[in-house]
Amino acid sequence: MQLVIRPAAESDVAEAYEWYEERRQGLGDDLLLSVEATLAAICERPASFPIVHQDIRRALIRRFPFGVFYILDKTKLIVLAVFHARRDPKQWQSRS
């Protein structure tokens, strides 16, 4: 299955990376590793994560308060957003 990460989701990750790196050097790298591990889990078991809005699923990222929001298509996984758990869900919902 093809993994498609939308530019807005890439921007979410870059923004979070910068924020964590400003707090402690290397913490942004830890976030990236956690995001990669979550994406790998999604690719391995795409239907195992819960649907949280219409056809959008969410996989929580370990160690960091973020979720990866994605749509499971017949031939691809489309990552819409990587959002902090406390952000307004209307922001990622509008990306579908």
CATH of the domain at 52: 3.30.2310.20
Residue 85 contacts residue 67 (beta carbons within 8 Å): yes
pLDDT of residue 94 exceeding 70, the answer is no
Residue type, 27: L
Domain membership of residue 57 as a residue range: 2-93
Q: For residue 61, what is the DSSP state?
A: P
- Give me the number of domains the chain comprises: 1
Considering the entire predicted model, what is its pTM?
A: 0.90
Q: Note the pLDDT tens digit of each residue in 25-65.
A: 999 999 999 999 999 999 999 999 999 999 999 999 999 99
* pLDDT score at 14: 98
Helix (H) or strand (E) holding 91: helix 89-93
